[in-house]
Every structure is written in structure tokens, then in C-alpha cells.
Structure 1
Amino acid sequence: MARVPQVIVVDPDRESAGEVQKMLNMLGLSVIASTGYGVEAFTLAFQLKPDIVLMRIEEPLVRPVQTLGRLTDGLPDLPVIVYSTEANIRLMRQSMVSGASDYLQEPLSKDELESSIMRVLERKEREAMRRRGELEDPVPQGTIITIFGAKGGIGKTTIASNLAVALATEAHQTVALVDMDTRFGDVAITMDIPVERSIADLARNLDSVDRNTLRDYLVRHESGVYILPAPTRPSDWRNLHAQHIRDVVDVLAQTHDFVILDTPGTFNEIVAAAI
């Protein structure tokens, strides 16, 4: 049976603290203590070791902010969710700078409170798992979308191009469109751009390419899409292998929110690497 998360409520207003405790009990959480500001709040948190603290912040701010800072400084692994009737940016910022994990505005709703607590506890658990070596370090990588069809002439390039433009213009994402069609490679024609360098050039020089020089191999379309064209000479594909494609896609995915791959109408090792 899963362990019930334990909570300490820090709120000098007894009526307010009582309402929060009722809501927490309705959510199936265990309130192990309720206290006001100051050293007692830190002492209880230190001794009882709750999973999370819910803390009310109101004017005057000196005592609550001091208490919040002592909790987050002395118990850095203990998440503190702040709630307040105030919605001003200054107080929100001061709370977050002092170490709050989230800031909720009163009146609290059960759904909002539950969502905040679960989100904060999940983040805490992921951090603990990463410290224990149970999770791999995150690798920054955008979303890779491969457009593939079993034959040519079915509109793959049109779909890939329109999708790339929509993501760049409507969703305001950074997008790389890669022409991997080994037979026709007409993304450059569809998007009406010049071809000075291609995926073959990038793959050949990948060891010397960094974030700054990567742009030299891409053509920026007026929509904001960055395009990596196919070679103008079909023979250039002969020197490209599956690992080249994987390496190119990895580099692009580390520098763009989306990487759209337009593939040929036949299954080969290039397509296998893209998928």
C-alpha cells in the first residue's frame, strides 16, 4: 500500500489553517502538525520530517518570509507550497526567490491544491531518484517527427513542409526541416530556397560543427523554418550511412524544438535510422 504523504500547515490564522486541513484530509493526505511562523515551524519540520509544507503568507511580510527562508535554507529537500490572498507579482517573486516550490492564490480549490501537491511531490521524487542514480541525466532534445510513406507521390514533402511552417508560425517553435529523400529530394523546390550546402556536407563535417557553425549548413525560410536540403547530386548519398543520419538528427534535436524528417518513398537504412 502506498504511503500517505504527510503535511505540516504553517498558518497563524486558526480558521484558515482549519479550512486547509479539512481540504487536505479530503484529498487523503495526513496533516501531522499545524503551527504559526517562527522557530516552532522550523523545529516541527526538522523533527517530524514531513513530505511537504503548506504555508500561508500575508502582510506584514517580515515574519512569514523569514520563516520561509529558514525552512528552505535549513531543509533544502523539503518542498514548501505558499498560499496567499495576495496576487501581486512582488510577493510571488519574493516567495519564489525565498525557495517556495509553488504559489497558490486563495480561495484555494481542492483540484488546484491537489494538482500542485502532486506535481511538487513528483518533482521531489524524480530529484531523489536522480541522486540515487536510478534515473539517467536528462538529455535536452526536441521532438523528432518522421514523415514516411510506402511509395512516392503521395504528398509526404507537402505534409512535412506545411507541418514545419505551421509549427514555426502558429506554435512559435524553432523547427528544422530535413530533406532525407534519397531519390527526389525536392524540399528546396517546394520551399523555394537555394541549395548551397546539404545534409551530406553537414554529415561529412559533423565533428567540427558546433552550435554556432551549425547554422551555416541550414537555410532559413521566410517562415522561420531552418531547412537542411538534400544533396543536388544523388551520388552524394552513397557516402552517407545510417550512423551519419542519426548523428545529424541528434545535433539538430539538441538545438531545435522540432525536427521534421522528409523521407523517401522506399524503406532503406536511411529511413530506418530516421525511425
Structure 2
Amino acid sequence: MQTATRPGTLHVVATPIGNLGDLSPRALDTLRAVAAICAEDTRHTRQLLAHYGVERPLVALHEHNEEQLAERLVARLLGGESLALVSDAGTPLVSDPGFRLVRAARAAGVAVSPVPGACAFVAALSVAGLPSDRLAFEGFLPAKAGARRERLAPLASETRTLAFYESAHRIEETLSDMGTVFGGDRRVVVARELTKLFETVLDGALDDVRARIAADPNQRKGEFVVLVQGAADDADARIAEGKRLYAKLGEHLPPSTAAKLAADLSGAPRKALYGS
């Protein structure tokens, strides 16, 4: 009687976000043991593996092919092979591809096991000095200014600490838009190149931090985590935010329409906004 093949395991493995010393011994053992490693950018992952002397087959898995490859990879897992899933840096699936493969593996009854490690926004939060009991992770904002402001607008009254990722060529524009939407005095922490040689963490009012970054070309290089303190959770703060929005919207819209939108976005009573 033939014994049924036991499925392998899909290991979701966190890799360093900069400092190579942050790869855990367990992660290294896992990468050495699997049949293949699914990587967002095989060139980047190959360099990481070479540093540790790991030689494993690599499978390119990214947002453009994940849907097509998932079934084939699940078949390998069901056939008894164990696979690892990594992203270019940090914890997979945090603003990175991979959830389709994980979902397909779980649906097929394959064990999916995390091998935890570095995560950029968690690392930034640990040194930010901002409230960390409640957090809203927003990932990357849209590249175009109009869409970016539209995404930010409903977050103006969010009381949780907000976490974003941003690229070097958009950091100034993003901070400017945040100042417009949230108010220039809202506290922000901008963490750059975490765990790398030129790591910096700037904090202060949005307008002040934006000006510091604008004045220093070195502060516009690398990869960024932006953490914004949440709005004050009280009626006065909501009304103040509503009045600010009403004044801005009133430059382009009839008063009644501006008041309705400002009230919807801020949570302030509409009648409190008139006459502001």
C-alpha cells in the first residue's frame, strides 16, 4: 500500500531591512533547508544568499505573476516540497506581494509558518516616541498628488498613529501634502535608511521636518518610514479640524457643500462650522 505524500510547509521568512546581521539563525536554517525560495527580486535575494553561502533555487514571485504561479507552487508543496517566501527586505506581505500564494496554500491545506524578523515600520515605531497602542498602517500612498491628497483626507481625524512608506523622490511632496491635510503643526517622525550606515530619525512638526529635509539633500536619499501622530480625540479638536477643512473647501465650493464635506471628513457637527 502506497503511503500518501505529506505536504511540505510554506515558510514566510523575514529578511534584513539593511543590516545583514539582523537575519535570524532560524531564518538562515530555513533558507538552507527548503527546496526553493520564492523571491520578489531574485537578483537582490541572490546577493543576500551569497553573503551567507546559501545556494538554493530561486523562483521570481512578484505582483505581475503571482496569480499565475500560485497554483504551480501549491502543487509543489502538496507534493512534499517545502518552500520559502521572502521579499526584497523585511517581512513579506507588508506592502509586498505574497498574499495570493499564502491564501492558495492555506486553502489547499498546506501549513504556512512565519519566520519573523525585521519590519521597517515596526522598527521605526519602536524609536519614534509616538503612541503605539493603536496603529493604522497605510503603506505607500499614490504617486500622483491629487490621488495622494484624496487618500490622506479621510485620515485627518484618525486618532491612531499613522504609518506610511515613501520613496526618496516623493518624500518632500508627501510631507507637504500631509501638512496641508493634517495641519503643519501635527507631529511627525521620519525614519530614513533604518539599520543602515546613514540611518536618521527626524521628529517634530510636519512643516518643520519638511523644511529640514528640503534643506539637506542627504535627507532625501534612501527609503523612508513616515509616522504621523493621530488627531486628538475630543470634540474641540474635531471642530477645529472641521473649521480648517471648511475654510479650505470654501475657497472652491458653495458654503453648504463645503460644510457637509468638512463635517463628513472631520466628524464635527455641520452647524459648528458655519461662521468660522
Q: TM-score, normalised by structure 2?
A: 0.24
Q: TM-score, normalised by structure 1?
A: 0.24
Larger Rg: 1
